[in-house]
Structure 1
Amino acid sequence: MIRAHTVEQVRTAEAALLARLPEGALMQRAAAGLAYAVLDLLGSGYGRRVLLLVGSGDNGGDALYAGVLLARRGVQVEAWLLSSSAHEGGVAALRAAGGRIGSPGPVPAPYDVVVDGIVGIGGRPGLRPAAVAALGHVAGTPVVAVDVPSGVDVDTGEVAGPHVSADLTVTFGTHKIAHLVDPAARACGALQLVDIGLDLPEAPVEALQAADVVALLPRPAADAHKYTRGVVGVRSGSATYPGAALLSVAGAACGLAGMVRYDGDPAALDLVRAAHPEVVGPGRVQAWVVGSGSDDRAEDALRRSLADDVPVVVDADALAFAGLARGRSAVLTPHAGELARMLDADRADVEARWLDHARRAAHELDAVVLLKGRHTVVARPDGRARVTTTGTPWLATAGAGDVLGGLIGTLLAAGLDPFDAASAGSWLHGAAATLAAQDGPIVASDVAATLPDLLATLTTP
């Protein structure tokens, strides 16, 4: 599990650790991890050129002491001080190690790496003009960010104004929310965590990893039968969108539940039966999937499904009636445009503040909300959230959400609670897409077809 903590949580943990360590020891731990990460990126040390952009915070100190270690490995290190209150000990140590203290300006020869130590995790979003100008002089050079890219909002993942876009972010003690939540997460590049010995509380934001998903996946007991493994019902598709029914059923029929029932539009029934002969007709279920391509049948389908008092996945056309599911065991699966309509908000604002809007919707609708995006956010009404980091840009294809809805419904029917079902389903969906794509184009049915292969790798002892 990747756990992302707030700035306040990190500061509290750092203070507790500092009280037990010699002065400067914590910064030296961070600097060592940063220096080794830069060396790994460079591939060698001697003769390489590294520029440090140094602000007034601890991140600037980390960068300076990392520069000392790099200089001792033969790296030509220069620091541009962007604040009059840069870490004095770090500046002196870098000079003593042979590093150069310079000034922002045109670069006579290219640097191999720029280290962003401009703003610490407590800094406000955005960058001052001097920092923007300094970055402009080295545009195109690979950037390693210290803790977080300078200029992003660490606790929300939002950006406001200019900010650093890093190729690699080296963070200390724990991940921060900006590392997982877009749009800030896009600015982080690759992530590398350096353990500095922090004792941290429960994190408000998490990202499941493969081992976490494996632990959540339902497995049949020795005496299981199809009903004890869970029955999922699908009410999706219409004469206008019959393919939505097929894709929803394909996601549900991945093998994690004992039975799939289709109770949707008759216009899609033959299509579903031809592709999935194991799917049966209406009857009792442990969870419903409602709304994909349902057109004008969506409200009726949702009302009938809620009347069964079982967990419900509310998707696509049914999201217009999401208020009916308020306070119920439900997973709502909007994309940014759909959530904007649900909250009477602007889509661009939703995309600028993913976490905030997902949490708001979950609180107002008293249900789990899965906000689909590059890094999908799953939020509970109490504000706890998970972020999906699996997936590929090729997953942005018509019908992919229908497959996801069916998959989440199957996990609900198999006994997972809505938060676990939504976050595990989203992880599996992204991982299956990556496996199917192999760096090439895919369509939604490819994702569904790859799910059994992915699940076989996760469930085999």
Structure 2
Amino acid sequence: MHELLTPQQMAEADRLAAECIGESYPLMLRAGEVLAQIILERFVEVRAVDVLCGPGNNGGDGYVLATILREHGLGVRIWRAEEPAAGTDAARAAGECTVERFDLASFQPDTSNLVVDALFGAGLARPLEGVYGDALRRCAEAKAPILAVDLPSGVSGGSGQVIGTAAAAELTVTFFRKKPGHLLFPGRSLCGEVVVADIGIPGNVLQSIDIRCHENLSSSWRHLLPRPSFDSHKYRRGHVGVFSGGTTATGAARMSAMAAARAGAGAVTLLSPASALAVNAVHLTSIMLRRIEDPEELSTFLNERELASVVLGPGFGLGEKVRNFADVLLRFTSRSGRRLKVVLDADALTGFAGDPEPLFEAAKENGGGTVLTPHEGEFARIFPDIAAAAELSKVDRARQAAERSGAVMVLKGADTVIAYPDGQAAINSNGTPYLATAGSGDVLAGMIAGLMAQGMPPFEAACAAVYLHAETARSLGPGLIAEDLPARLPVILSAYLEPPARG
């Protein structure tokens, strides 16, 4: 269940499901049943539940839930500010519920009770204020245990942004599929554990919905991971070039180079200025070394050796040199007619700040083989207008940047988003704060290049690298430094690979 539905798409899935079964009310009954089952299983010590019901379908789920919990002997109170509109499923659920109602304005959370947030869920389109916002603020201040229905009220299902007020849940139960707001920060930090429950919506309703976003799970790319055959040789497994900076800025490139090798590339060459050859040579064993000083030497090398992919940017330095090198790489075509797969990171992005159009033009000429890996600061330097558009979600920002640049966009962070120029996007959900350390992005850039060098398509290579990068970091845990990541990667990668094919 890797698909992510916007609130509008989820409403369409509900509508299509209702058409299949003849009416929508059974879905609400099933939602209440599932919520009750989860509460009875997960919160066995709870003897009383306060259900905060909104006026829409989220509140309707709450009324059904309250009825079932009382039948199981729990003390239940419903708190509401307004009744559901007449003729709706929520009004029907409220009419069938005999649990006593109280005025939401008078609600004071009791920390020994479970609070069920069934106010608004993912579909909220206006700031959560007034009596609803006040109730949630009191819950947050009291640190009351909260189960959120669908999504913590006040969190946008589309962007994960807080609209007005929201209170953090211990557990969020959503239905059929997650929404982007479950994975994008700050919403992700407010959801607690997220459980996706089956309420009887048939999976085939997705065939009528144009889904363009998914959770970055291994099921989307695992089958495309490179698996060398027994007759492979090093160059058949892909040759990666990584560009080094000057004497005092060589470490980032070496980490990228080692990551490319550990991701399975058969050969990796570090391309170094003359001033840094000695210091790089001291630290390299399996990684090859070549002097590259200027665009002419770069063009000569590219024509001599059949590189599959390159990494430019980590520790490289700013100025005309990085812009010129990027232009050569993005426009290069080998004697066999192949385009280079190019990963641009760090200085290769900042180097185009203020004048990114030449980068976008060259990336489009590269025909979809370019991957840009900015963090938020670098993103703002080359896409200032997109970065400043507060109404855009992180997914929308990554999509617009991918379309404008013609490149796969890896917008890094705790909720890294990978976007393709055609609008496809993936949100990574296994990130760890241990990756917030210098050099981890350099390793990621090398991993992407290493997978692309072996023939993995750029979008899927980026998705796989982001996921495996995080898994590697999670396996290392506290004390992680970026140098640890390449050596640990083969252990993690092996769990996702089948034995090599014969022949």
* Fold equivalence (TM over 0.5): yes
Kindly indicate whether residue 147 of structure 2 is the aligned counterpart of residue 177 of structure 1. no
Gaps of 5+ in 1: none
Match of 1:262 among 270, 273, 281: 270
CA distance in structure 1 between the partners assigned to 2:276 and 2:253 by the alignment? 6
CA distance in structure 1 between the partners assigned to 2:5 and 2:41 by the alignment? 26
Alpha-carbon displacement from aligned partner over 1:360-394 (angstroms, at most 9, x marks no partner): 21111111111001010011112211111122111
Give the partner amino acid of 1:457: A
Name the counterpart of 2:14: 14
Match of 1:279 among 268, 282, 287: 287
Q: Is the deviation greater in 358-367 or in 102-111?
A: 102-111
CA distance in structure 1 between the partners assigned to 2:471 and 2:435 by the alignment? 10
Cα gap change, 1:80/1:343 in structure 2, threshold over 3 Å: closer, same or farther?
same
Match of 1:405 among 442, 445, 448: 445
Name the counterpart of 1:5: 5
Name the counterpart of 2:234: 226
Matches within 5 A, 1:78-227: 78-85=77-84, 87-95=90-98, 99-104=99-104, 105=106, 107=108, 109-139=110-140, 140-196=143-199, 197-198=201-202, 199-201=205-207, 202-227=210-235
Residue 245 (structure 1) shift: 1.5
Name the counterpart of 2:461: 421
CA distance in structure 1 between the partners assigned to 2:391 and 2:6 by the alignment? 21
CA distance in structure 2 between the partners assigned to 1:91 and 1:138 by the alignment? 24
Match of 2:436 among 396, 402, 414: 396
Cα gap change, 1:72/1:15 in structure 2, threshold over 3 Å: closer, same or farther?
same
Percentage of pairs with the same residue: 36
Gaps of 5+ in 2: 291-304, 333-338, 353-358
Kindly indicate whether residue 480 of structure 2 is the aligned counterpart of residue 458 of structure 1. no
Give the partner amino acid of 1:148: L
CA distance in structure 2 between the partners assigned to 1:272 and 1:5 by the alignment? 48
Give the partner amino acid of 2:438: A
CA contact (8 A) 2:386 2:400 kept: no
CA contact (8 A) 2:109 2:115 kept: no
Kindly indicate whether residue 300 of structure 2 is the aligned counterpart of residue 292 of structure 1. no
How large is the RMSD of aligned CA atoms in angstroms?
A: 2.3
Counting matched residue pairs gives 454
Name the counterpart of 2:363: 326
Residue 334 (structure 1) shift: 0.3
Give the partner amino acid of 1:244: A
Residue 426 (structure 1) shift: 0.5
Give the partner amino acid of 1:110: T
Cα gap change, 1:402/1:74 in structure 2, threshold over 3 Å: closer, same or farther?
same
CA contact (8 A) 1:60 1:117 kept: yes
Name the counterpart of 2:297: none
CA distance in structure 2 between the partners assigned to 1:268 and 1:216 by the alignment? 37
Alpha-carbon displacement from aligned partner over 1:278-316 (angstroms, at most 9, x marks no partner): 112353310111111101342233233224331100000
Residue 56 (structure 1) shift: 0.9
Residue 276 (structure 1) shift: 4.1
Kindly indicate whether residue 473 of structure 2 is the aligned counterpart of residue 433 of structure 1. yes
Matches within 5 A, 1:36-51: 36-44=37-45, 48-51=47-50
CA distance in structure 1 between the partners assigned to 2:496 and 2:444 by the alignment? 18
Alpha-carbon displacement from aligned partner over 1:64-98 (angstroms, at most 9, x marks no partner): 21222222222211111122327333334432xxx
CA contact (8 A) 1:315 1:334 kept: yes
Residue 456 (structure 1) shift: 2.1
CA distance in structure 2 between the partners assigned to 1:460 and 1:326 by the alignment? 34
CA distance in structure 2 between the partners assigned to 1:84 and 1:28 by the alignment? 18
Name the counterpart of 1:342: 382
Residue 100 (structure 1) shift: 3.1
CA distance in structure 2 between the partners assigned to 1:361 and 1:335 by the alignment? 13
CA contact (8 A) 1:378 1:422 kept: yes
CA distance in structure 1 between the partners assigned to 2:445 and 2:474 by the alignment? 18
TM-score (norm 1): 0.91
CA contact (8 A) 2:79 2:107 kept: no
CA distance in structure 1 between the partners assigned to 2:489 and 2:157 by the alignment? 34
